[in-house]
Amino acid sequence: MNILIIGLGSIAQKHIIAIRELYADAIIYALRSSKNSEQFENIQDKFSLEELNVKPDFIIISNPTNLHEEAILKSIEIGCPLFIEKPVLSELNSSSSLSEMIHKKQVLTYVACNLRFHPVVQFLKKYLIENKSIINEVNIYCGSFLPDWRPGKEFRKIYSANAEMGGGVHLDLIHELDYCNWLFGNPMETKSIKRNVSSLKINAIDFASYHLLYDTFTANITLNYFRKDPKREIEIITEKESIKADLLKCTITRLDDHKIIFEQPYQVKDTYVQQMNYFINHIKNNQQPMNSFDEAVDVLKIALT
């Protein structure tokens, strides 16, 4: 298996570990911007697409979000499946033209949102289908401390903290919008507040609040970069019960009687392995995976509302 990676940062390393666990003999190429870039074991550096002497089985696009458009354009011409790290783009200007090109070239696409493979989210997907209760309210919260994300690095210099690089909590933590959309469907209307007035003093958005309006309920989503005690939870209030899903503890509790209805050992790396396996199996079967380019653009529209 031949794989090309565009963007060899921290998220790419997670995808590489997943590939190695599934296919130890895979040949991985990396498109590098400079010959002075850091070298990685068992990764073959290429400095232009013309240097590739094989057609990749698929391409991973994991460079900074503001560079996705250019990378997608180049990759479409190669004509192999695309595994695009979230968010799919940093803005919507080119989304329609890229979509047309993807469909014209019949390129299979998947936008990587690994939390769809989190055990709690997977359980909720089935639970909501099986328990057909009227939902009255959904509250989703994700807060963590940006300076802790990449120890040893000046947090104000990483892309997450810089709007011009496609950073901002509304894009970095688009997972919450993505799985909300996956679990409950497209909202009828979206309202949002986005700010960057916290003590972090960065130029990217560090707080975002969304209200997604559905037929019978509203989903409220809060995202931030400045919470020192991390919290990632989903609260669902139905006509029959209230449940709280804790993605960090990997538990789901029924709040009415405090009974744990789901609990499972969990490591975040497992979601990357499961995600990669899912994607590769769809390539082998020539089947379009969930969360195509177009689906991811729909979620991006919500994020940018």
- Answer yes or no: is pLDDT of 132 > 90: no
Domain match, 95 and 154 both: no
The pLDDT score that the predictor gives to residue 115 is 98
- Answer yes or no: is pLDDT of 39 > 90: no
Domain match, 220 and 172 both: yes
Task: List the domain range (segments joined by +) for residue 9.
Answer: 2-114+272-291
Residue 260 sits in a domain whose CATH number is 3.30.360.10
Structurally, the chain folds into a number of domains equal to 2
The pLDDT score that the predictor gives to residue 38 is 78
Q: Which amino acid is at 226?
A: F
Token readout for 178 is 């993505």
In a domain, 153, yes or no: yes
The pLDDT score that the predictor gives to residue 218 is 98
The pLDDT score that the predictor gives to residue 41 is 86
Domain match, 257 and 174 both: yes
Q: Three-state SS for 14?
A: helix
Task: State pLDDT tens for residues 104-124.
Answer: 999 999 999 999 999 999 999
Task: State pLDDT tens for residues 276-303.
Answer: 999 999 999 999 999 999 999 999 999 9
Residue 81 sits in a domain whose CATH number is 3.40.50.720
Whole-angstrom distance, CA of residue 199 vs CA of residue 277: 40
Percent of the chain whose pLDDT exceeds 90: 92
The pLDDT score that the predictor gives to residue 97 is 98
Residue that wins the pLDDT comparison between 151 and 85? 85
Domain match, 137 and 94 both: no
Residue 95 banded pLDDT, cuts 50, 70, 90: very high
Q: Which amino acid is at 51?
A: E
Domain match, 259 and 284 both: no
Greatest C-alpha distance within the chain? 62
Domain match, 158 and 49 both: no
- Answer yes or no: is pLDDT of 35 > 80: no
Domain match, 161 and 91 both: no
Domain match, 40 and 145 both: no
Over residues 23-51, the mean pLDDT reads 89
- Mean per-residue pLDDT over the chain, rounded: 96
Domain match, 41 and 143 both: no
Query: How many residues in the chain?
Result: 305
- Answer yes or no: is pLDDT of 168 > 90: yes
The pLDDT score that the predictor gives to residue 301 is 98
Domain match, 180 and 42 both: no
The pLDDT score that the predictor gives to residue 34 is 76
Residue 269 banded pLDDT, cuts 50, 70, 90: very high
> From residue 25, how far is each of 19, 43, 215, 291 by CA, in Å?
9, 12, 50, 28
- Answer yes or no: is pLDDT of 200 > 90: yes
Domain match, 83 and 131 both: no
Burial class (CB in 10 A: 0-12, 13-18, 19+), 157: exposed
Domain match, 146 and 238 both: yes
